[in-house]
Amino acid sequence: MIDAISTSGPGLTLRLAVGTIFLLYATYIYIQRRKDYDADRLFGEKHGCMPLKRRLPYKWPLALDAFKRQYDALVAGNLLAFQSEYFEETQVGQTFEVKLLGRVGYFTLDPQNLEAILSTNFEDWGLGSRREGLYPMIGEGIFTQDGHQWKHSRELLRRQFVRIQYQDVKVFETPINSLLAALSSQTGVIDLQPEFFRFTLATTTSLIFGEPFAGLTPKDHEVFEENFDYCALIGAMRLRLANFCWLYNPSKFKQACAEVKKYATYYVNHALKDQEENGEEEAADRHPFILDLYKELRDPILVRDQLMNVLIAGRDTTACLMSWTFYLLVRHPTSLERLQQEIHSIATNGQNVTRAQIAKMPYLKCVLNETNRLYTQIPVNVREATKTTYIPRGGGPDGQSPVLIRKGFGIGFSPYHMHRSKDIYGEDANEFRPERWEGPQLKNIGFGFMPFHGGPRLCLGKDFALTEASYGIVRILQTFPNLRLGPDEPKVQSGQEKQTLTIVVASADGCKVLLS
Ligand code: HEM
Ligand SMILES: *[C@@H]1O[C@H](CO)[C@@H](O)[C@H](O)[C@H]1NC(C)=O
Ligand SMILES: *[C@@H]1O[C@H](CO)[C@@H](O)[C@H](O)[C@H]1NC(C)=O
């Protein structure tokens, strides 16, 4: 800079002027930062914030060793188990600082902090890097939005889920009949997991797209399924890379996203054409979801994107819940038998199981709670402070004081690990014991149990998912009363089996059972 100025020439005055402006600007920024910093400090003092003492240890620069070990564990299929051990071994407690690739962030497993982030101080937090990670796949929609836009999407979609509740279990009937037929046609050891992915794809597409579209061939559906799986896989990797997600954008990903969108566009166009040809009322019977969204959004692309958002939220989550439920039941024959008896005593007329009947199956609810606890879908998640805020616990020598979180900083949280905490669930926290939900102990658990989160962004599909899983489980157990663990299938402690971690957590070895 000095050199540049001292070498005189025709542009000297100009350069001096630019230099001065630059200096002024830098000073301004510095003062502004200082002001922000002071304001934040005062804010922290006001709320009794204390420094966060514990941080995740690392040895290599940029915490590359921690990064590498996690990557290795991910590939080996035991990342969540590795983290459990790592947290315990390093005694970082429930809330700690993480410094990964030079960025400071926070991590918490504390129900009180989760309640503050997701509910009490909801307005202070946003999705952070999720939007960028998933945008190429699902675009503008409830799962990628914050603020006003999110609120609008939420209202729009909530109507759809309310409507669905009045339809009892109709939307699940055709898909479950296909699933049962597919299972009946196989012999020997059968892997249920891929069948559940097919089943929930069928129910979710039927929910959002409406009546099946005859213009698409079975091959089209198959291609869609493959592309969707691939997109979800890469999308999850991009989420894990957080602010570095632009590093990973393979051309195959772009192409698969384009194909998935094309498929959804068929349905949107088909519904709009139906409306044009047969009138609003008649078409709305066949494609209520699409046409109601269109009425409000008035843009086929925005409608398509919202559909994609619901698809990504609803499909894998419920498939994995069902798969883990059977995975656990066949390893716990006493629980399986008790559930079979309950089903038998309530759904006596065979095929037509109703919502009202499902509501009368308390043990089934315990089984689902217990599975949601041990295999929390969307196991790990993040939020970013959109303004300077605080979390109520983790600071000070005893970790009981609030901690200041400055604007722009991120916090990771893991319902998966919290749900396996011995402090909350006792010494047998890693064991499958549906009975723990029967007594009064867990009635006021609050944010200590949050498979669907809580607060304003509570899962919109909670009722849909639980009804779908319940209905599916009942129909399968009615049809295959001898369902049991396949021979040679491993029985290891829950959490130690190999897992495939994408946005959700699936069993890497599937869910292998014998049906007859
Ligand atoms: C076992 C099954 C499911 C689980 C465990 C689950 C869990 C969750 C969780 C934890 C969130 C909050 C994510 C966040 O804010 O970071 C969420 C959001 C959401 N879920 Fe689910 N979900 C399930 C099934 C479904 C189904 C079947 C649908 C729809 C058919 C669905 C639709 C949604 C939507 C639209 C949101 C976004 C809500 C918002 O941001 O306001 N979910 N889900
Ligand atoms: C079961 O449902 C089917 C249609 O889904 C209906 O035709 C049949 O009458 C129902 N059976 C009973 C016993 O309710
Ligand atoms: C399952 O958990 C929910 C909390 O999300 C609770 O309200 C419900 O009572 C539990 N169900 C049973 C059967 O314990």
Q: Give the ligand with the smallest distance to the CA of 357.
A: 2
10-69 pLDDT, tens digit each: 577 878 787 888 888 878 878 888 888 889 999 999 999 999 988 887 777 666 777 788
Q: Which pLDDT value is given to residue 62?
A: 60
What is the model's pLDDT at position 1?
45
Domain assignment present for residue 364? The answer is yes
Give me the mean pLDDT over the 402-430 stretch: 96
* pLDDT of 190: 96
Asked if residue 365 has pLDDT above 60, the reply is yes
Looking at residue 433, its pLDDT comes to 98
Q: Ligand 3 pocket: which residues have CB below 6 Å?
A: 362, 365-366, 369, 437, 449
Listed residue (115, 64, 125, 57) closest to 86, CA to CA = 57
CATH number at residue 154: 1.10.630.10
**Whole-number Å distance between alpha carbons of 339 and 343:** 6
Closest CA to ligand 3's atom 4: 449
For the segment 198-210, what is each residue's pLDDT rounded down to a tens digit? Answer: 999 999 999 999 8
- Decide if 147 is inside a domain: yes
Query: Burial level of 147, CB count in 10 A (0-12/13-18/19+)?
Result: exposed
Name the pairing type of β-strands 512-514 and 189-191: antiparallel
Report which of residues 23 and 253 the model is more confident about: 253
Give residue 173 CA to ligand 1 midpoint distance, Å. 22
Give the Å distance between the CA of 468 and the centre of ligand 1: 14
How confident is the model at residue 234, as a pLDDT? 87
Give the closest residue (by CA) to ligand 2 atom 2: 352
Backbone φ and ψ for 263, nearest 5 degrees, come out as -60, -45
Average pLDDT, the chain: 90
Atom in ligand 1 nearest the alpha carbon of residue 145: 40
Average pLDDT over residues 137-159: 95
Host domain of residue 498: 76-514
3-state helix, strand, coil in the chain (%, to 5): 60, 10, 30
User: Pseudo-torsion of CA 11, 15, 17, 18, nearest 10°?
Assistant: 130
- The pLDDT, as a whole number, for residue 481 is 95
**Does the residue 14 lie in any domain?**
no
Q: Kindly indicate the confidence band of residue 349, based on its pLDDT and cuts at 50, 70 and 90.
A: low
Cα of 309 vs centre of ligand 1, distance in Å, is 10
Q: Is residue 407 part of a domain?
A: yes
Average pLDDT over residues 222-234: 89
What integer pLDDT is reported at residue 286 of this predicted model?
Answer: 92
pTM: 0.91
Element (H, E) at 79: helix 79-90
The 3-state DSSP class for residue 425 equals helix
Number of the ligand 2 atom closest to the C-alpha atom of 349:
13
H/E stretch holding 303 = helix 300-331
Q: Which residue has the tokens 């843009």?
A: 299
Q: Which ligand 2 atom is the nearest neighbour of the CA of 170?
A: 5
**402 pLDDT higher than 50:** yes
What is the per-residue pLDDT across 467-492, written as a single tens digit (0 to 9) for each? 999 999 999 999 999 999 988 888 89
Q: Which is nearest to 335 in space by CA: 377, 360, 370, 372? A: 370
Q: What is the pLDDT of residue 104?
A: 86
Residue 333 in any domain: the answer is yes
Number of domains in the chain: 1
Is residue 392 one of the residues assigned to a domain?
yes
Q: Give the per-residue pLDDT at 216.
A: 84
Averaged pLDDT, 91-106: 85
Least distant ligand from the CA of 173: 2
Give ligand 2 pocket residues (Cβ under 6 A): 173, 349, 351-352
Q: How many helices (H) and strands (E) does the chain have?
A: 20, 12
Q: Which ligand is nearest to the CA of 442?
A: 3
Q: What mean pLDDT comes out for the span 432-440?
A: 96
The closest ligand to the CA of 310 turns out to be 1
Ligand 3 nearest atom to the CA of residue 442, by list position:
14
Instruction: Classify residue 198: in a domain, yes or no.
Output: yes
CA of 10 to the centre of ligand 1 (A): 64
Q: How far is the CA of 360 from the centre of ligand 3 (A)?
A: 14
Which residue, by CA, sits nearest to atom 14 of ligand 3? 437
pLDDT of residue 239: 80
The number of the ligand nearest the C-alpha atom of 441 reads 3
Contacts of 335 (CB under 8 A, 6+ apart): 328, 329, 367, 432, 434
Nearest CA to ligand 2 atom 8: 352
pLDDT at 8: 54
* Residue 61, pLDDT score: 66
Q: How far is the CA of 359 from the centre of ligand 3 (A)?
A: 12
Task: Please report which residue ranges of 123-217 form alpha helices under DSSP H.
Answer: 130-138, 147-165, 170-184, 192-209
* 5: pLDDT strictly greater than 50: no
Does residue 232 carry a pLDDT above 70?
A: yes
Residue 184 pLDDT greater than 50, yes or no: yes
The verdict on residue 46 lying in a domain is: no
> Which residues does ligand 1 sit against, CB inside 6 Å?
142-143, 154, 157, 204, 207, 310, 313-314, 317-318, 321, 377-378, 381, 451-453, 457, 459-461, 464-465
pLDDT at res. 4: 47
